Amino acid sequence: MDIKSIGWNEHFESQIQIYREQGLITGRVLKEVRHLYEVITEDGLVQSEVSGHFHFTAVQRSDYPTVGDWVVLRRSADTALIEKVLQRQSYFSRKTAGSKTEEQIVAANIDYICIVCGLDGGRNFKLRGVERYIAMTVEGGAKPVLILNKSDICTDTKQAVSDAEKICGNIPVFAVSALTGKGIDEISAYFPQGSTIAFCGHSGTGKSSLINMLMKNNIMKTGSLRESDLRGKHTTTHKELFFLQSGAMVIDTPGMRELQLWGDANSLQDVFHEVAEAAENCRFNDCTHQGEPGCAVKKLLDEGNLDQERFENYLSMRAEMKFLESRVTEKGRAERKAHEKELSKTIKRFYKQK
């Protein structure tokens, strides 16, 4: 297989020479199930896991491979050990669920993130939630695409698209139906050959059904919604990369019950562009837009040119990310100190044994 056809480029080529000299090979992670990885190489598929050295040197969860990653492998007769994850070109991540301050990489080296919403009511299409997904997509360096699925049962698809376009700016919005096939050809034609796409969104929005339609094959298991609250069941239980007939690649991810933010608050400027543009005219450079005199953002609100709920979501997300930044800084210092201490002990034990 020509690895250039599955996403290999100069970004990865520039990192690999030192490993080739050691007789190591490269591959891309296609599937991840409980720390076991299916990797495609120039010589075909291999089953692998991370090496003991990798375990020892990894500092945090985000250091480990995920679907879409390019990895360096050490092959032997019956094993393939992952020794290194090459620097990612882009990614989609979130804060892990719960109280731990830790980044979870959902998918790596993606060109496009398809944010899938369901037009069947309930929580499956909330503008404030879409803004969170867009923020995380932009933060990771991929291009967001909004897909409004289940248009066949929506009473006013045009209004749903109009509402979405108000917050999406130049981000493309597709209204489709995985049941009838409406809009599927338009989605397929949008993504160029060799590009990598990830599908993200709540459970029950129809991500797996859309992938089945794109692949023209029922390869993904699908499920129904609970009638009580229209919430979906987790039919996708692991992450996996598939090849489309168009030559593009698509990653399916398990549905997310929550998307906790991870990243820099500055990335919100690309999502809430009208707030960022108005803020340049505020009287104070450090204006928080919460009562200071001469606030241009407040003027934007008063004139009706900024939706109040959208602004409140901006403030909420900014506060969440600034709090996260403070936690990550403290946690990072502590982890680096502990890791350096452990490495120092290992080196001392090594020389004592000589």
Q: Can you tell me the distance from the alpha carbon of 50 to that of 115, in angstroms, rounded to the nearest whole number?
A: 30
Phi, psi of 193 (to 5 degrees): -60, 135
Give the tens place of pLDDT for each residue, 187-243. Answer: 999 999 999 999 988 888 888 889 999 988 665 544 444 344 434 444 545 788 999
Domain extent listing, the chain: 3-85, 91-252, 265-335
Determine phi and psi for 92, rounding to 5 degrees: -125, 125
Same topology, domains 3-85 and 91-252? Answer is no
pLDDT score, position 343: 60
Give this prediction's pTM: 0.81
Which CATH superfamily groups domain 91-252?
Answer: P-loop containing nucleotide triphosphate hydrolases (3.40.50.300)
| Structure token pair of residue 326 | 């403070």
- Tell me what the mean pLDDT of segment 248-260 comes to: 74
Residue 58 has pLDDT above 70, yes or no: yes
Phi-psi group of 308: left, alpha or beta (phi > 0 → left; psi -120 to 50 → alpha; rest → beta): alpha
pLDDT, one tens digit per residue, over 239-252 is: 889 998 888 999 98
| Token pair of 118 as six digits | 């369901």
CATH class given for the domain over 265-335: mainly alpha
pLDDT, tens digit, 9 for 90 and up, residues 140-181: 999 999 999 999 999 899 999 999 999 998 999 999 999 999
Within a 13 Å sphere around the CA of 126, how many CA atoms are in the beta-carbon half? 13
Domain 3-85 CATH class label: mainly beta
User: Which residue type occupies 100?
Assistant: K
